[in-house]
Every structure is written in C-alpha cells, then in structure tokens.
C-alpha cells in the first residue's frame, strides 16, 4: 500500500454502496483487509496499481472511474508555496499548522499560531514541511493562503507579555498589524540579534537601568545599535491556588514535601529569578518538587496551577490576575522593549511608540492587567 501524498480522490464507498457490497466482501475478493478498504475510502492510503486494478474489476468499473488524480490543486499548491524562517522548531510543527507571515529585513518569517482551543485565528499560510538551507537561513516551507500579509504594515514582536494582544488591538486601529511570537526573554533577544524580529520584549534586567546596552542581556549587539523603551513595571512572584490553601509564602516553602511547583524553560526570566532566589536561600534545586517540570510561557505555567497540576509557579501578577489565582509578590521588574535603531523610522515602529504614550492605552492595560504603565514609551537613558 503506497503512502504517496499525491492528491487523489476516490468513489470507492459510493460504488461499493451501489453494488450493495460490504467492505469485508470487497476486501476478501481483492485480497486486502477490511481496514485497508476503509482507509482507502477515507483517503488515508492510496492503493498500488495491482490493488487498484483488482478493485476496478470487482466493481466492474474502470480505474479512472474509481480514482481521480487532482492535478490542478496540486499544481496550484506548488505555485503558492514559500520558503521561510519558522521561529519554532520545524520538526515540531505539524503539516497543516496555521502560521502568520511577516517581512523582517531580508527575511520572510513565519510564526506558528497557538490556539486556545476555543477558536481559530486568521492565518496567512499553512505548514508544509521542514527544509534546511543554512546558507539562506531557511528552515520551512509553507503554503500561502492569503497575500494580505504583503500589503499590510506589519511588525513582529517576540516576548512573553500576556498583554500583547491589547497592544495589537490598539495598533490595528491605527492601521498597523502586530504579529506576536510568544517567546521567553532570552529567546526574544536572541531573535532580535539574529534580525528575525522587529522588537524584543524582556524582563531579564532589574534594579537601576544604567549602562543597559553593556549588560550581558544584550551581549553581541554592536555598540549603539539598540534603542530600548519602557513598556511596563510589574511584580513577579509565586502564583498559587485561590486563597493560597497551602500557605506558601516564599521560596523557602518550595522544599516542603506537600508543595509541588511547575518551572519555566531555561532562558525564561522567571526561571532566572527562581534560580537566583534558590541560590540566595541556599536551596538546591534537587530539593524542589517539580523543578524539572516545564511550562512554555507565563500563562501556561499559571494554568497548570489553575488546573491543580501544580501548587505554584513563578510568574507575574498579571498571570495570576487573569486566571483568578492568588499571588505572593517577590520582586518588582521592568518589562522593556528593545528595537534596532535602524528600524526606529519605520512607520509601524513610530505607531507603536506613539500608542505606548497614549493615556487611553495605558489606562486600558492598567485596568485589564494591573501593570504600572506610567513610564510606557519612555526611552531608557543611554540606550
């Protein structure tokens, strides 16, 4: 039985029904299993030549009446394919996964859409397959389903901020589309360094924002190449079940036998904070139940607590707030947006910076998420 993915339709079920022939009877006469007949009818498998001829003879039709090769759609699909830089691991993105597209410098970048299980988001293309062309920095092929991405003013932002859709909605009213790649702080800065996003959000820094470009966070960027702006001030701490039933008050409680946490992936700012606090309290991570269990994102980590898969996680107050969970603050941190200075004059970037300075936008985020937005849009000194 061939697994060729050529587009073929068949009338097997229709013709078998007309002849009042069961799948088992047809299978016996052709010399295949009943499951094979069902698989062919469902389009899961395409039979080889011998099986096709036997089926046609048993049903008293020509092979052409039984099977039809869809040449035109396959040809159209080939014309509509595009080689891109997919920000996710292409081996982990299934065929047919929806993606959004954005032009960043010389790159066409694809972002796999994450569904919340309640509906589908507008897509520009569908994943076809991984490909590897290191010279062109290409790792995936997609099938384009809409050309609108070429015509719109689009910005691609990487970051872990749950309020990004509010920013996207505000920008859309100004004629600018924001494509969001949900990545941790380290990965977001890495993508900016590689020239694959316009904006990187990060909350890896804390304390006074002095000599910011010389920090290890922005290592590898040419001196003076970045402009860094305030977005929000927020609190990071322990996200807990409503009412904090286990009375978890700090990282010292993570070594309790009745406490199980869920961690973030390496490179995430919340994991960096956890490691820092564990070191300060001289707690070996081996003593923390759930340290090696990872959630990819602030909200996924908080949802694990909401679903009672864990007792706590390190995340932002916003994650606790939107899911109705309890929160024990540990530190205050700035969330920053890094942009290459060469992109500051892009119309979309200017629209974004103007939006950050609007009182109406700041109020909306403060009310919905609880961030401190007083400094939003202000450029960090020395950057």
> pLDDT tens, 199-247?
999 988 765 555 565 577 888 888 889 999 999 999 999 999 999 999 9
Specify the pLDDT at position 3.
44
Specify the pLDDT at position 37.
84
Quick one: DSSP state of residue 113? P
Contact by Cβ (8 Å): 139, 163: no
> pLDDT tens, 331-344?
998 999 999 999 99
CB atoms near residue 105 (< 10 Å):
13
Q: Write the class of the CATH domain 8-71.
A: mainly alpha
User: Is the per-residue pLDDT at 373 higher than 90?
Assistant: yes
Domains of the chain, by residue range, sit at 8-71, 80-151, 235-333
Tell me the average pLDDT across 292-301. 91
- Find, among 45, 46, 41, the residue nearest to 17 by Cα: 41
Which residues neighbour 336 within 8 Å (Cβ) at sequence distance 6 or greater? 201, 202, 203, 205, 209, 228, 229, 230, 231, 380
Tell me the average pLDDT across 141-168. 89
Tell me the average pLDDT across 23-33. 89
Per the prediction, the chain carries an average pLDDT of 87
Give the fold, CATH level 3, of 235-333. Answer: D-Maltodextrin-Binding Protein; domain 2 (3.40.190)
Specify the pLDDT at position 220.
86
Share of the chain above pLDDT 90, in %: 56
User: Is the per-residue pLDDT at 74 higher than 60?
Assistant: no
pLDDT band, very low/low/confident/very high, at 361 (cuts 50, 70, 90): very high
User: Residue 260 in 3-state DSSP?
Assistant: coil
């Amino acid at each position: 039985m061939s697994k060729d993915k050529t587009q073929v339709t068949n009338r097997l079920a229709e013709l078998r029904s007309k002849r009042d022939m069961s799948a088992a009877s047809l299978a016996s006469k052709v010399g295949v299993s009943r499951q094979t007949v069902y698989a062919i009818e469902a389009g899961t498998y395409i039979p080889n030549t011998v099986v096709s001829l036997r089926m046609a003879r048993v049903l008293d039709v020509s092979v052409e009446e039984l099977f039809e090769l869809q040449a035109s759609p396959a040809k159209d699909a080939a014309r509509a394919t595009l080689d891109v830089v997919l920000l996710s691991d292409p081996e982990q993105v299934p065929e047919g996964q929806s993606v959004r597209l954005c032009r960043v410098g010389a790159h066409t970048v694809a972002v796999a859409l994450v569904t919340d299980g309640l509906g589908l988001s507008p897509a520009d293309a569908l994943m076809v397959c991984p490909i590897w062309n290191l010279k062109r920095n290409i790792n995936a092929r997609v099938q384009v389903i809409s050309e609108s991405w070429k015509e719109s003013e689009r910005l691609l932002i990487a970051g872990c901020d749950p309020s990004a859709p509010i920013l996207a909605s505000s920008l859309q009213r100004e004629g600018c589309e924001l494509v969001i790649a949900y990545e941790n702080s380290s990965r977001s800065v890495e993508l900016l360094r590689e020239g694959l996003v316009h904006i990187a959000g990060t909350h890896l820094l804390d304390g006074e924002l002095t000599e910011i470009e010389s920090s290890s966070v922005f290592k590898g960027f040419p001196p003076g190449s970045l402009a860094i702006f305030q977005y929000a001030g927020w609190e990071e701490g322990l996200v807990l079940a409503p009412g904090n039933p286990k009375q978890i008050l700090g990282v010292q409680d993570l070594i309790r036998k009745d406490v199980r946490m869920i961690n973030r992936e390496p490179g995430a700012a919340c994991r960096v904070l956890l490691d820092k606090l564990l070191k300060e309290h001289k707690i070996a991570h081996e003593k923390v139940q759930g340290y090696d269990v990872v959630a990819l994102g602030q909200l996924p980590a908080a949802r694990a607590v909401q679903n009672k898969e864990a007792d706590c996680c390190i995340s932002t107050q916003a994650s606790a707030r939107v899911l109705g969970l309890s929160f024990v603050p540990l530190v205050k941190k700035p969330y920053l947006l890094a942009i290459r200075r060469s992109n500051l004059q892009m119309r979309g970037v200017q629209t974004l910076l103007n939006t950050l300075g609007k009182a109406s936008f700041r109020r909306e985020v403060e009310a919905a998420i609880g961030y401190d937005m007083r400094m939003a849009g202000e450029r960090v000194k020395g950057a």
